[in-house]
Chains A and B, each alone.
Chain A
Amino acid sequence: MARRDDIESILIIGSGPIVIGQAAEFDYSGTQACRALRDEGYRIILVNSNPATIMTDPELADATYVEPLTAETVAEIIRRERPDALLPTLGGQTALNLAIELHERGTLDEYGVELLGASVSSIRKAEDRQLFREAMERIGLKVPESRVVNRVEEALELARYIGFPLIIRPSFTLGGKGGATAHDPEELRRAVTDGLDASPVRSVLVERSVIGWKEFELEVMRDLADNVVIICSIENLDPMGVHTGDSITVAPAQTLSDKQYQTLRNASIRIIREIGVQTGGSNIQFAVDPEGDDFYVIEMNPRVSRSSALASKATGFPIAKIAAKLAVGVLA
């Protein structure tokens, strides 16, 4: 695979404000991407609402917009700059959500902007819990029993089948925002109400809790020739139920035997292929039964994630830089 010479300019969307509980991981990845793609000779157009990021330093992009990260603003930038491509996988969830919105508004088609790294369908498959569940079932993997609900009453009915405790996860939110655990109907009622408010599409996932299970992550990369490598495994010392962002994590995994680890590795490879992330890094999370070999796939981020920064530092492998280069066919 050779460098993509049919594209000249690339729009990179940053992640916007750094909020409490998040570090600067997306500035780290976005900065690497700007540098890597400029080194390859592409014209880089950058939009990020946060002027306190390294990536918005003038020398990192050819055109830098410190503007609100809304579909309207980014559409205006596309109208003005006419980029050939948009790389949405390095600016966290904000950038992915914006890319989907720009696709749905028809902006990307109207101006002939190609999505690099991940397609709309693969982003949807990874982000939409129902599509993700179906995708995992197709490749013989399990996700915790669950259903997407739009009303509190639906959640209460579901609880009668699955039982407590349950986890409530709002769709399309940042850093697990609005997520909660419910141990009884009253907690469930409250959690679903809050979750619906937090979700931009007013839906939440109610799912069987695997609280207390062992939590592992694998950082996976794929190139355009369909080679897949695992950059590293990560074990959360705090079990399922403590968000990764609050958890002490260690790379590589510490308490898996080779056979147990290879099972997760094989699953990760099948997942990145099934979801269809064409190039770049993805983060896949697993819950593993502490008393047996049973495991569930928890989620997949079809983009560089907060764990990627940790994985990069732990291994010395610059995930975001390589992801950016793979997206334009270099190195493949």
Chain B
Amino acid sequence: MVLEDGASFTGWTFAGGEAGEVSGEVVFTTSMVGYQETLTDPSYRGQILLFTYPLIGNYGIIPGDEESPKVQAAAVLVREYTPHYSNWASELSLAALLEENGVLGVEGIDTRALTRHLRDKGAMRGVISTVERDVNVLREKANAHPKMVGLDLASSITELSEPVLLPAFGEERGRVIALDYGVKGSIYKELRSRGASVLAMPGSTPASEVLAQEPDGVFLSNGPGDPAALNEAVTNLRGVLGERPVFGICLGHQILGLALGCETYKMPFGHHGANHPVRNFSTGRIEITSQNHGFAVREESLPAGVEMTHRNLYDGTVEGLASPSLHAWSVQYHPESSPGPRDSGYLFDEFVEEISEKKARA
């Protein structure tokens, strides 16, 4: 594997060896468990995913734990792959899952050195090849891969060709339109288990079509790519703000920020892991959070009327926003966890509470 700055690392394939050559932005995640959820998270679409945890594959692949129907990462880099998995619920190995999806898995990489390199120099594009051995050739190919900044990966990611209604589990307390920019499945489960029916629509749905459905609230999903490239989504959202309560997660948080007049920027190596402490300003409490993002909302750009509600205690970045007058709020991290701690489920409680009140008033 060669990075765009010419740094090279060698390993051997444990799955998908036929893939030949793969390029993408290389990002590392520090989660110690949850590789299945992580690999199937659409926010990782097209990225080369590096696990800092040194043993991957230990508990196999468990049906139902996936966040989307397929492996989204372009390739997987691990220190050591464990072929002999151990867990009563698992039905196949990680290698088998990667094979099924035609995704390259590489082990034997010095993941610590590679992680330090990315942490010091920032996220980089890279190329993995099972055929080409010339570092200079591969370096050129890495540099030819599109840069993440300016890249719209979210607008066309949805698998929806038309809106899909997912009914609430149990009695319906309200109806949410979820704009899908690459949603994780567990977000819908969290909403539905609290009594929200979810009408899933493509992220590019115009405001008029969203409002024509007369939802009690609008949810903005997570997703991949640069939020600043999503002009259409931002414009659409502006047409919804103030009309309905809005709650966003991850990319949805960034889109809300942009719609409220904030700026976003690319972080050096982003947040990818399941142990980030975040302070909730309204309670003063610390939540341990699940994170996966390479862009963030710039704190200095928050206009009047927009509050910062949560802050990351590792680097001080914005983790939550609210516009009380517009009944809109969002978090950068993942309250649905999957993988990660479940400290922040109250955010779904609050959203469903808000929409059920809205429904009651209507």
Contacts and interface: CB of A to CB of B under 8 A. Distances in A.
A222 to B, nearest CB: 11
A89 B55 CA distance: 34
Interface on chain A toward B: helix, strand, loop, or mixed SS?
A: loop
Contacts of A262: 337, 339-342
Interface residues of A, number: 23
B140 interface: no
A258 B285 contact: no
Interface in A23-81: none
B135 interface: no
B25 interface: no
Nearest to B31: A258
Interface stretch (A6-14, A122-130, A184-192, A225-233): A225-233
B89 interface: yes
Contacts of A253: 33
A153 to B, nearest CB: 39
A258 B339 contact: yes
Interface string B76-104: 00000000001111100000000000000
Contact of A225 (B31, B59, B88, B285): B285
Interface string B263-286: 000000000001001000000111
B59 A257 contact: yes
A255 B59 contact: yes
A258 B284 CA distance: 27
B59 A290 contact: no
Contacts of A256: 33, 59, 87
Interface in B164-197: none
Contacts of B341: 262, 265
B288 interface: yes
Interface in A259-289: 259-262, 265-266, 289
A17 interface: no
Interface in A162-180: none
Contacts of A255: 58-59, 86-87
Given A227-B286, A252-B32, A258 B340 contact: yes
B285 A227 contact: yes
B291 interface: no
A140 interface: no
A227 B31 CA distance: 21
B285 A257 contact: no
A229 B287 CA distance: 9
B285 A229 contact: no
Contact of A257 (B33, B277, B286): B33
Given A227-B285, A257-B36, A262-B339, 17 more contacts: A230-B288, A252-B32, A252-B33, A253-B33, A254-B55, A254-B86, A257-B33, A257-B90, A258-B37, A258-B339, A259-B65, A260-B87, A260-B89, A262-B337, A262-B340, A290-B88, A292-B88
18 contacts: A226-B285, A229-B277, A229-B288, A252-B33, A253-B33, A256-B59, A256-B87, A257-B62, A257-B89, A257-B90, A258-B33, A258-B34, A258-B274, A258-B340, A259-B338, A262-B342, A266-B342, A289-B88
